[in-house]
Amino acid sequence: MAAQIWGSEKRARRRREISAKIAQMPELHDSKPLPFMTREEKIMESARKLTILTEKMGQIIDPTDPAELYHLNNEVLGLEGNPMALHGVMFIPALSAQASDEQQAKWLPRALRREIIGTYAQTELGHGTNLQNLETTATYDLATQEFVLHTPQITALKWWPGNLGKSSNYAVVVAHMIIKAKNYGPHPFMVQLRDEKTHEPLPGITIGDIGPKMAYNIVDNGFLGFNKYRIPRTNLLMRHTKVEADGTYIKPPHAKINYSAMVHVRAYMLTGQAIMLASALNIATRYSSVRRQGQIDKSQPEVKVLEYQTQQHRLFPSIARAYAFQFAGAETVKLYEHVLKEMKSGNVSLMADLHALTSGLKSVVTYQTGEGIEQARMACGGHGYSMASYISEIYGVAIGGCTYEGENMVMLLQLARYLVKSAALVKSGQSSKLGPLVAYLGVKSEPTSLIDRIPNSGFTEYVKTFQHVSKRQTLKAADMFFGLMEKGEKREIAWNKCSVELNRASRLHTRLFIVEAFVRRVNEIADIRIKEALTDLLHLHVNYELLDIASYALEDGFLSASQLDYIRDQVYLYLGKIRPNAVSLLDSWEFSDIELRSVLGRRDGNVYENLFKWAKSSPLNKTDVLSSVTQYLKPMMEKARL
């Protein structure tokens, strides 16, 4: 199963080998539980481990393999981030996709050797979503052949970029490029922020940390201002766009090609989210098979809480989602790598499809991951609320994904633009022009679902039902939009008035893609036992998801009330079937105790003894009487006694 999850037997084996090596290297372990450290201590601890890793990485992993790097990162540095998180996630990908060969030769080897640390600085205090209204400017000075970066007002301060505050000395900065008073829109520039020797901010740069966040606090998300700060013309990233010495602008082959670093993260973060969801579920499911509370049969001893159907219903559909996200994520990464290769050689024809797909996926996956992790926390009762479970940190980091790389509602609306264009093709009889991801929009569907009538149809009838609801909602939302425009409403106003319906279409389309990716994967599996276990999970997935969106299929009679009862019964049936495999389905992800950082989720199940040990190690328990008591509470009580 681990081979299915991680892509191949070799990958699964390598992960095991890497975890085993790390287990033998105490210098790479947290020196004490992270929840007991202050933010400064955590940042220091992370930097300590990061530098050891830089020295010893070659002994542990193949540093050129991103999957091995990612695993090493999760084990040693963990999900709270590290001082170079954005260096790998966005700075290097931005240079790789947007810098010319000459620029790459100059900067990439230095970045890869970690001579310099970089980040991606785009969002500002006043604008994150609406890139057209970013306010930082890069004005070309013809006389000196330099760009002058400037922050005209407080809202133009860069705000949020990870590791910008304290760790990075370089950044890819996105600024509006102005040449001879003409604004060419946001473009990426390579900018040195700090002196390479002293790490002091360079003159003209104002920089710092934006303060503590809900989670992810090892990362120094930062602010940045420029006071007429000059950089050479050749620091504009020039793979696709060029500015010649005389100020001539050579436009890129696609208007949005400079957004590729964002698409990179949107594609890669899906499996990251799957991992976080599976981690939280691993903790909750293991704990649920240790925790005994109450009886189902009063004549029997107390049961493991995992025996309760409500507990299974809370956890198992999310286990199915974690697998579904992992499989859909793996497909998306493959597609992304393909499109990136094409883009580098000038073929931009697939960019719109990839943008639409990743926009929908990042929104649905991050939202459902958040839901699943929060349910996992509640499934652990009181102990889930303790930082000893570590679920709250996983939750905080995961739901950051609902916001970063494009706020979820906004990204769903990006996909909706693509769906509405596709609907227009269907309505004008040009269905043959639909891309493969939306081809179903042009296919006539049956009048009713046959879900309960062809039980051995594999998952075909389910897929058809998802296609039906997605198609119907897309055409309905598009009709609403076109109808408003026909009535004379301006395009943007009409769009806003339909946006809730449009986003519903985007979610349904994306959920269909996830279901199909899961079906595709299960169909490919040769090993009978693995196929059986995953088929059960897929049964739960399709029935649970369909129940969740049933209103769309009920309103036009595609599903009947009795079919809904059938679907519900299938959910209960598969909850029971999955129960014996539940812990294994999560253990198969092979997270080590080091990586999970959870007292509740320990592999050995020795929860209570270790919770007590953990509590005793709380800094508050270093003394029996705190100074807050001697200074304030004790005098207060004494005064009251007089």
Ligand X SMILES: CCCCC/C=C\C/C=C\C/C=C\CCCCC(=O)SCCNC(=O)CCNC(=O)[C@H](O)C(C)(C)COP(=O)(O)OP(=O)(O)OC[C@H]1O[C@@H](n2cnc3c(N)ncnc32)[C@H](O)[C@@H]1OP(=O)(O)O
List active site positions: 405
Q: How far apart are CA 42 and CA 350, in angstroms?
A: 42
Question: Shortest approach of ligand X to residue 517 CB, angstroms?
Answer: 18
| Neighbouring residues of 396: CB distance < 8 A, sequence distance ≥ 6 | 213, 214, 215, 216
Find the binding residues for ligand FAD in span 77-106 (CB under 6 A). Answer: 86
- Tell me which DSSP letter residue 318 carries: H
Residue in 324, 325, 363 with CA at minimum distance from that of residue 502: 363
Number of residues near ligand X (by CB under 6 A): 30
Residue 229's SS3 state is: strand
Q: How far apart are CA 257 and CA 243, in angstroms?
A: 16
Residue in 402, 368, 168, 199 with CA at minimum distance from that of residue 281: 368
Question: Shortest approach of ligand FAD to residue 155 CB, angstroms?
Answer: 11
460 is in an annotated binding site: no
Other beta carbons within 10 angstroms of residue 297's beta carbon come to 7
Does residue 268 interact with ligand X by CB under 6 A? yes
Find the binding residues for ligand X in span 116-135 (CB under 6 A). Answer: 120, 122-123, 128-132
Does residue 352 interact with ligand X by CB under 6 A? yes
Find the binding residues for ligand FAD in span 157-176 (CB under 6 A). Answer: 160-162
Question: Shortest approach of ligand X to residue 295 CB, angstroms?
Answer: 41
Question: Shortest approach of ligand X to residue 246 CB, angstroms?
Answer: 27
Find the binding residues for ligand FAD in span 202-221 (CB under 6 A). Answer: 216, 221
Residue 492 or 609: which CB sits closer to ligand X?
492
Q: How far apart are CA 160 and CA 491, in angstroms?
A: 32
By a kind-dependent CB cut-off of 5 to 8 A, residue 121 interacts, out of ligand X, ligand FAD, none, with ligand FAD
Residue 123 or 449: which CB sits closer to ligand X?
123
Residue in 378, 560, 347 with CA at minimum distance from that of residue 451: 560
Question: Nearest 5°: phi and psi at 489?
Answer: -70, 140
User: 116-138 in b/e burial notation, b at 16+ Cβ within 10 A?
Assistant: bbbbbbbbbbebbeebeebbbbb
Beta strand 118-121 with 170-179 is parallel
Residue 138's SS3 state is: strand
123 is in an annotated binding site: yes
By a kind-dependent CB cut-off of 5 to 8 A, residue 22 interacts, out of ligand FAD, ligand X, none, with none
Residue 481 or 544: which CB sits closer to ligand X?
481
Q: How far apart are the first and last CA of the chain?
A: 70
Binding mask 143-162 for ligand X (x = CB under 6 A): -------------------x
Binding mask 414-443 for ligand X (x = CB under 6 A): x--x--------------------------
Find the binding residues for ligand X in span 53-112 (CB under 6 A). Answer: 85, 89-90
Question: Shortest approach of ligand FAD to residue 420 CB, angstroms?
Answer: 15
Q: Which residues are annotated as a binding site for FAD?
A: 123, 162
Binding site for ligand X (CB under 6 A): 85, 89-90, 120, 122-123, 128-132, 162, 256, 259, 262-263, 265, 268-269, 272, 351-352, 355, 397, 404-406, 410, 414, 417
